[in-house]
Amino acid sequence: MSDKEGKIRGFFAQFLDMEAGDIDSGANLRDDLEMDSTETLEFIVALEKEFSIKISDGEVTNRHSVFDVVKTVEGKLG
Amino acid sequence: MNGIAVTGLGIVAPPGIGKEDFWKNLREVKDFTSPITSFDASAYPSQVAGQVRKLETGHLSRRILKKMDKFSVMALVATEQSLNDAGIDLAREDPYRVGVLLGNTLGGWLYAETELRDLYQEGRDGVSPYNASAWFAAAPQGQVSIHYGIKGYSKTVVADRSGSLMAIGYAVRVIRNKKVAIALAGGTEAPVTPYALLCCSTEGSLSRGPYRPFDRERDGFVIGEGAAIVTLEDMESARSRGARIYGAITGFWSSCDGSHRIMPDPNGMGLAKAIKKTLDSAGYRPNDIDYICADGAATWIGDLSETRAIREVFGDYARELPVSAPKSMYGHLLGASGAVDLVSTLLSMQEGVILPTINYRTEDPECNLDCVPNEVRVKQVKRALIISRGRGGINTVLAVERS
């Protein structure tokens, strides 16, 4: 796991009040992590602030998996 | 004993959290109001409040807590206590036969105020997306129903300060009508916030302290925060499962004065009507009542009209009928106050005492009821009335009977 991926996964864990090791890469935000649209919106805003990035509409939704989100954010961090 | 059984008590209030602490501390008869510490209240005319400290929220995750205002959190804590006290595991009940009926006055103002401040300081990105679901009046009902998977007939009652007593009255009707088998009923209020305190102050009902109902020097009430939620069941069902029954709710009525946007009818005729109809609905005569837990708002007209209403209904018997306002010890919990009064009245009945009206110093000849001044009185109470009133002349009365 790269440093960037570790930071993103750590942020996920902190946001969801879970242990990082308990978050499966394939977990779906809506079905497995029970993130509704409101919580996903909060998550996106928090991601943008934490990593100083801009996430466009549809790039991160609660239909995505943890893996999808990590890759999207990693891509923006360059 | 007929009526709807009260089998569980949940309480989060300035004197204590949980019925044991609440009752133990109340019995010591102290003033639990204190200077506001959660924000700088020095510019406000009223700078004291009954405040809830050290709220244990162990059964709720941080992820859940950040989505709620304090008034919902207190409702969840009180509900958990109430269900545990009643010995009910909702996972074993039909969720469509369980209801939640809660009252409050203000909604979740701390959440709303904070997010409004952030909106103006940081723009729209600074506002929590939970604001929309955290501040509104029905949020506690929603959060309790989500937490326990409750799906039966439920309602949020916004009837100013009489909201929770009215919610309990409606819960009784819902059980009587067989719409649900179990109802969680009561109220919650978190008014110790800058904007909420400002609104209460400008309305002109707040005291500079102390809170002294029925006293000639009264100058209004002191606000308090907290929640009280009782578990209600059909009497026969409660008995058949061997539940501890604190008492029965035997009567309920509500009326409006239709006279002024803030103040009640000075003659108390609307309240007198509600008291008479409550007695009728319970099958009581005036002399059957041993005690009244008063609204005791300590406003000039409020106490005067409450006294006149009681005199109108009880006649000469009003001179010997104890009428106290225990909320003088911990503040007026607005929309949660009636539910707290029900809890304190039931616990008083269990122990055979009447809680006093504290800070009482100077008799008001116009309010010459026996307000049980300053000290606990030993007295067996079999039947009691609870009065709760709201701005605009809302009157709610509940009749309770000891088990």
Q: Which CATH number do you get for residue B360?
A: 3.40.47.10
Of B98, B380, B72, B125, which is closest to residue A41 (Cα–Cα)?
A: B125
pLDDT-above-70 percentage for chain B: 100
B101 pLDDT exceeds 90?
yes
B162-197 pLDDT, tens per residue? 999 999 999 999 999 999 999 999 999 999 999 999
Domain co-membership, B142 together with B268: no
The residue of chain B with its CA nearest to that of A49 is B125
Q: How far is A72 from chain B, CA to nearest CA, in Å?
A: 21
Which of A22-59 are b and which e, b meaning 16 or more Cβ less than 10 Å from the residue's Cβ? ebeeebbbbeebebeebbbbbbbbebbeebeeebeeeb
Chain B residue numbers with beta carbons less than 8 Å from the beta carbon of A42 are 128-130
Q: What would the mean pLDDT of B16-20 be, rounded to a whole number?
A: 97
Nearest to A38 among B61, B125, B130 (CB): B130
pLDDT of residue B124: 84
- What is the Cα–Cα distance from B399 to B279, expressed in whole angstroms? 7
What beta strand segments (E) does B257-358 contain?
291-293, 323-324, 353-354
pLDDT band at B2 (very low <50, low <70, confident <90, very high): confident
Domain co-membership, B74 together with B173: yes
Domain co-membership, B42 together with B145: yes
CB atoms B129 and A41 under 8 Å: yes
Measured from the Cβ of residue B147, the count of other Cβ atoms closer than 10 Å reads 17
**B240, B270, B295: which is the final residue of a domain?**
B240
Instruction: List B252's β-bridge partners, or say none.
Output: B398
Q: What would the mean pLDDT of B389-394 be, rounded to a whole number?
A: 92
Domain co-membership, B208 together with B277: no
Domain co-membership, B93 together with B38: yes
CB atoms B129 and A16 under 8 Å: no
Task: Kindly indicate whether the ipTM for this predicted assembly is greater than 0.85, answering yes or no.
Answer: no
Q: How far is A55 from chain B, CA to nearest CA, in Å?
A: 13
Beta-carbon pairs below 8 A across chains A and B = 16
Nearest to A16 among B63, B130, B132 (CB): B63
Residue B245 lies in a domain: no
**B220, B240, B260: which is the final residue of a domain?**
B240
B229 pLDDT exceeds 70?
yes
Domain co-membership, B234 together with B254: no
- What is the Cα–Cα distance from B90 to A25, expressed in whole angstroms? 34
Residue whose structure tokens are 């209801």: B99
Number of domains chain B contains: 2
- What is the Cα–Cα distance from B151 to B133, expressed in whole angstroms? 19
Domain co-membership, B196 together with B315: no
Chain B residue numbers with beta carbons less than 8 Å from the beta carbon of A45 are 125, 129
Instruction: Supply the mean pLDDT for chain B.
Output: 95
- What is the Cα–Cα distance from B196 to B107, expressed in whole angstroms? 10
**Spatial contact of B235 and B364, defined as CB atoms under 8 Å apart:** no
Lowest mean pLDDT among B112-126, B357-371, B382-396: B112-126
- What is the Cα–Cα distance from B13 to B53, expressed in whole angstroms? 9
Q: How far is A45 from chain B, CA to nearest CA, in Å?
A: 7
Domain co-membership, B69 together with B89: yes
Instruction: List B253's β-bridge partners, or say none.
Output: B397
How many residues in total does chain A contain?
78
HSE-up of residue B356 (Cα within 13 Å, Cβ side)? 18
B254-277 pLDDT, tens per residue? 999 988 888 899 899 999 999 999
pLDDT-above-90 percentage for chain B: 88
- What is the Cα–Cα distance from B362 to B273, expressed in whole angstroms? 29
Which of A42, A47, A48 has the highest number of chain B CBs within 10 A, making it the mutation to test binding with B?
A: A42
Nearest to B63 among A17, A38, A45 (CB): A17
Residue B380 lies in a domain: yes
Which of A12, A18, A29, A39 has the highest number of chain B CBs within 10 A, making it the mutation to test binding with B?
A: A39
- What is the Cα–Cα distance from B54 to B396, expressed in whole angstroms? 32
**B240, B270, B305: which is the final residue of a domain?**
B240
Query: Domain limits at B384?
Result: 250-402
CB atoms A42 and B129 under 8 Å: yes
Domain residue spans of chain A: 3-77
User: Which residues of chain B are at the A interface, by a Cβ-Cβ cutoff of 8 Å?
Assistant: 61-63, 67, 125, 128-130, 132-133
Measured from the Cβ of residue B115, the count of other Cβ atoms closer than 10 Å reads 18
Residue B190 lies in a domain: yes
Chain B residue numbers with beta carbons less than 8 Å from the beta carbon of A17 are 61-63
Which of B62, B63, B68, B122 has the highest number of chain A CBs within 10 A, making it the mutation to test binding with A?
A: B63
- What is the Cα–Cα distance from B293 to B344, expressed in whole angstroms? 9
pLDDT of residue B42: 94
The residue of chain A with its CA nearest to that of B65 is A17
The CA-to-CA distance between both ends of chain B, in Å, stands at 7
Q: How far is B49 from chain A, CA to nearest CA, in Å?
A: 33
Q: What are the pLDDT tens digits along chain A (78 aa)?
A: 788 888 999 999 999 988 888 889 999 999 999 999 889 998 999 999 999 999 999 999 999 999 999 999 999 987
CATH class of A3-77: mainly alpha
Residue B133 lies in a domain: yes
pLDDT of residue B1: 54
The tokens of B123 are what? 């723009």
CB atoms B133 and A38 under 8 Å: yes
Q: What would the mean pLDDT of B297-313 be, rounded to a whole number?
A: 97
pLDDT of residue B312: 98
Q: How far is B364 from chain A, CA to nearest CA, in Å?
A: 55
Residue B393 lies in a domain: yes
Domain co-membership, B168 together with B201: yes
- What is the Cα–Cα distance from B50 to A75, expressed in whole angstroms? 52
B339-386 pLDDT, tens per residue? 999 999 999 999 999 999 999 999 999 999 999 999 999 999 999 999
User: Which residues of chain A are at the B interface, by a Cβ-Cβ cutoff of 8 Å?
Assistant: 16-17, 38-39, 41-42, 45
The residue of chain B with its CA nearest to that of A13 is B63
pTM of the model: 0.93
B71-89 pLDDT, tens per residue? 999 999 999 999 999 999 9
Nearest to A17 among B62, B128, B129 (CB): B62
pLDDT of residue B371: 98
